[in-house]
């Protein structure tokens, strides 16, 4: 047993970890993109509050820690069900009361429940300094930023029977994988290679151009929440399951090979979801940290 076998083991463990990790949310690139896009739409107050909460490892950049909940979900087992929602097979709709629970049936343990919870933690701390000690606000910020990304990945609101596409084995071009992983990683990875010189910054820039150009008229409706709520993950989850039925599950039965026609028709959906995730994350953080001003002025 030399150092070599130790390294080999670590290498293998990393590969296994990355494989599992990839199955669990937008991949690293997806979460990075959502948070980078959000950064461009934050108010000064939100930026200041976020800077204070970020851990050192973020190096002052929220996007650097937006995948953190995926990295710790095997240590913090309780957080695993918070990344997704399973809906009834083939219904193509989502209802909080019916669907938001973990596999043991515990209520509110799903991605929309987690978004409400971490928003409440941050908001209550910024409205009432007494409660500040009650929560780890740095973790709350990282969880919230990650989960607003996850709820926009269509297969994070997928059928119970196939675990949001995780049990649907397909080929992505030549590689054997599963449908959930295709939507977390493969579409983005193939897009990076094919269109963006393998550079995520190029992809983010193109999405930003689309936001200011093609989607400019949609931004205010993406940002707004009904009844002046601080956060509103319900429509995001409903959109996701609807897109899952219309695009993700469609023509992707077990054993099928997904190639150019699937890739090129689904990539615009993925890019729009990354854009919506970023815009809505920024709008939510802006509302949470706007309450700070009221206190300062009171
Ligand atoms: Zn996740």
Ligand 1 center–CA 53 separation, angstroms: 20
Ligand 1 center–CA 217 separation, angstroms: 29
Q: Look at residue 1 in the predicted model and tell me its pLDDT.
A: 35
pLDDT digits (tens, 9 = 90+) for 81-103: 999 999 999 999 999 999 999 99
* CA–CA separation, 237 and 120 (whole Å): 19
How confident is residue 20, by pLDDT bands cut at 50, 70 and 90? very low
pLDDT digits (tens, 9 = 90+) for 183-201: 999 999 999 999 999 999 9
CA 161-107-222 angle, to 5 degrees, is 80
* 11: CB partners within 8 A, 6+ apart: none
Ligand 1 center–CA 55 separation, angstroms: 19
pLDDT at residue 14 tops 90: no
Ligand 1 center–CA 82 separation, angstroms: 8
CA dihedral 177, 33, 139, 165 (to 10 degrees): -20
From the number of C-beta atoms within 10 Å of its C-beta (0-12, 13-18, 19+), residue 268 rates as: exposed
How confident is residue 164, by pLDDT bands cut at 50, 70 and 90? very high
Q: How far is CA 284 from CA 14, 24, 90, 233, 258, in A?
A: 34, 23, 31, 10, 35
* CA–CA separation, 195 and 203 (whole Å): 8
pTM: predicted TM-score of the whole model, two decimal places: 0.89
Ligand 1 center–CA 166 separation, angstroms: 14
Ligand 1 center–CA 68 separation, angstroms: 9
* 250: CB partners within 8 A, 6+ apart: none
Ligand 1 center–CA 83 separation, angstroms: 5
- List the beta bridge partners of residue 99: none
Ligand 1 center–CA 60 separation, angstroms: 22
How confident is residue 19, by pLDDT bands cut at 50, 70 and 90? very low
Ligand 1 center–CA 296 separation, angstroms: 35
Ligand 1 center–CA 69 separation, angstroms: 6
Contact call for residues 289 and 43 (beta carbons, < 8 A): yes
Ligand 1 center–CA 298 separation, angstroms: 38
Ligand 1 center–CA 257 separation, angstroms: 26
- List the beta bridge partners of residue 175: 172
* CA–CA separation, 114 and 139 (whole Å): 12
Q: Look at residue 15 in the predicted model and tell me its pLDDT.
A: 46
Contact call for residues 213 and 221 (beta carbons, < 8 A): no
CA atoms within 13 A on the CB side of 227: 3
Strand positions, DSSP E, the chain: 85-87, 157-159, 169-172, 175-178, 257-258
Ligand 1 center–CA 1 separation, angstroms: 36
* CA–CA separation, 51 and 68 (whole Å): 16
Ligand 1 center–CA 109 separation, angstroms: 14
């Amino acid at each position: 047993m030399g150092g070599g076998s130790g390294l080999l083991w670590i290498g293998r463990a990393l590969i296994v970890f990355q494989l599992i990790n990839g199955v669990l949310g937008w991949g690293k690139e997806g979460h990075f993109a959502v948070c980078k896009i959000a950064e461009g739409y934050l108010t000064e107050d939100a930026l200041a509050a976020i800077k204070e909460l970020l851990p050192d490892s973020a190096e002052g950049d929220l996007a650097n820690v937006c995948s953190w909940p995926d990295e710790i979900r095997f240590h913090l087992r309780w957080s695993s069900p918070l990344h997704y929602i399973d809906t009834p097979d083939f219904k193509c709709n989502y209802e909080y009361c019916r669907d938001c629970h973990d596999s043991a049936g515990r209520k509110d343990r799903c991605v929309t429940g987690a978004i409400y919870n971490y928003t409440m933690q941050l908001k209550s701390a910024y409205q009432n300094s007494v409660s500040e000690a009650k929560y780890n606000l740095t973790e709350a910020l990282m969880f919230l930023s990650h989960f607003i990304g996850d709820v926009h990945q269509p297969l994070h609101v997928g059928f119970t029977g196939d675990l949001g596409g995780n049990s649907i084995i397909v080929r992505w071009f030549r590689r054997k994988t599963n449908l959930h992983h295709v939507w977390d990683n493969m579409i983005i990875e193939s897009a990076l290679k094919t269109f963006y010189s393998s550079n995520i910054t190029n992809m983010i820039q193109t999405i930003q151009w689309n936001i200011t150009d093609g989607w400019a008229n949609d931004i205010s409706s993406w940002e707004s929440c009904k009844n002046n709520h601080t956060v509103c993950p319900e429509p995001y989850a409903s959109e996701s399951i609807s897109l899952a039925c219309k695009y993700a599950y469609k023509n992707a039965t077990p054993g099928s090979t997904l190639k150019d026609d699937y890739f090129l028709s689904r990539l615009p959906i993925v890019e729009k979801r990354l854009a919506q995730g970023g815009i809505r994350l920024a709008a939510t953080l802006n509302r949470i940290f706007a309450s700070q001003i009221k206190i300062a002025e009171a």
